[in-house]
A = this chain, B = another copy of it.
Amino acid sequence: MNDEINNILIIGSGNISWHLEKNFKKKNIIVSVIGARKFLESNSDKYKQEFKNKDLIIIAVIDSEISNISRIIYDEKLLGENKILVHTSGSMGIEIIKNKGENYGVFYPLQTFTKNKEIDFTKVPICIEANNLKTLNELNKIGKLLSDNIYEIDSSQRKQIHISAVFACNFVNHLIGISKQELNKKNIPFEILFPLIDETISKAKESNPFKSQTGPAIRGDIKTMESHIQDLENDERDIYKLLSQKIINKNKEL
């Protein structure tokens, strides 16, 4: 095994791929990228050319294609001897790319990525897992080139992180979308909420958010809640009712 990873192939050309390519190149790693569709349409000779001299193959495609692509890689014997195959998915286990005698793992950068919007990658937590210690060490080393925050995380933990991230990222984003939409209705600038949002996040990070909860639900202020519910439209009303109830439930548990 050549202990240095110098030459990476990324399969997939989505958001994660875009950011990995950019940041590996900054560290003078040779990176090539092949789109998932193009990969699936390649023939054996084309494949072999793409994979030649690659130390690490990163499958960065939608979850449903990972298994298929790793199968082709193994069947066509594309992975060089002692080289490493990883996927980047938060929700898929390591076993989805399992293969006897090979080095494989997961290299999951925990961030919401947008193409063409650069971020400070040194802050991005990278969750790594591997089927043997040597591979884990390699992933740790290449991860540290990009980020200061490498976590060894098993598949069951990674799935839990992904669930948590849906709440803290996708759902939070939807709620902030609603807050902007409601302000727009009365021509109030969105910026008026920014200090509140910043302080909410800062407090939530520092403490147990359930214990530092504020607002009408936790105060049991039914009059205010009813008045808000009346003003909202269907979709937002459903959310308001459910989350207020859940805040009340949680408070009883504490």
Residues of B within 8 A of A242 (CB): 238-239, 242
A35 interface contact, C-beta 8 A: no
Q: Does A182 contact B (CB under 8 A)?
A: yes
CB contacts (< 8 Å) of A192 on chain B: these are 110, 125, 127, 149, 151, 161
Closest B residue by C-beta to A227:
B91
Question: Could you say which of B63, B183, B213, B246 contacts A239, with CB atoms under 8 Å apart?
Answer: B246
Q: Is the pair A177, B110 in contact by a Cβ cutoff of 8 Å?
A: no
Q: Is the CB of B173 within 8 A of A203?
A: yes
Interface string of A43-77 (1 = CB under 8 A from B): 00000000000000000001110000000000000
Contact B239 A174 (CB under 8 A): no
Q: Which listed segment binds B: A2-10, A78-86, A138-146, A217-225?
A: A217-225
Contact between B64 and A223 (Cβ–Cβ < 8 Å)?
yes
Cβ-defined contact, B173 with A213, below 8 A: yes
Interface of A is mostly: helix
Q: Is A114 an interface residue (CB 8 A)?
A: yes
* Binary B-proximity of A143-155 (CB < 8 A = 1, otherwise 0): 0000001010100
Give the contacting residue for A250; candidates B112, B187, B204, B235; CB below 8 A: B235
Whether A205 sits at the interface, judged by CB under 8 Å, is: yes
Q: Which residues of B contact A238 (CB under 8 A)?
A: 242, 246
Say whether A247 contacts B214, CB under 8 Å: no
State whether the Cβ of A179 lies closer than 8 Å to any Cβ in chain B: yes
- The residues of B that contact A96 with a CB separation of less than 8 Å are none
**Once the chains bind, are B216 and A166 in contact (CB under 8 Å)?**
yes
User: Chain B nearest CB: distance from A246 CB in Å?
Assistant: 5
A30 at the interface (CB under 8 A from B): no
| B167 x A179 contact (CB < 8 A) | yes
Given A175-B172, A176-B209, A250-B235, the answer on whether A215 and B166 have CB atoms closer than 8 Å is yes
Contact residues of A with B, CB < 8 Å? Answer: 62-64, 91, 110-112, 114, 117, 119, 123-125, 127, 149, 151, 153, 156-157, 159-183, 185-188, 190, 192-201, 203-205, 208-210, 212-219, 221, 223-224, 227-228, 231-232, 235-236, 238-240, 242-243, 246-247, 249-250
What are 21 A-B contacts defined by CB distance under 8 Å? A111-B196, A125-B195, A125-B196, A157-B187, A159-B227, A159-B231, A160-B185, A160-B188, A161-B192, A164-B179, A165-B179, A168-B175, A170-B247, A171-B247, A172-B176, A174-B210, A176-B201, A177-B209, A180-B209, A181-B210, A201-B201
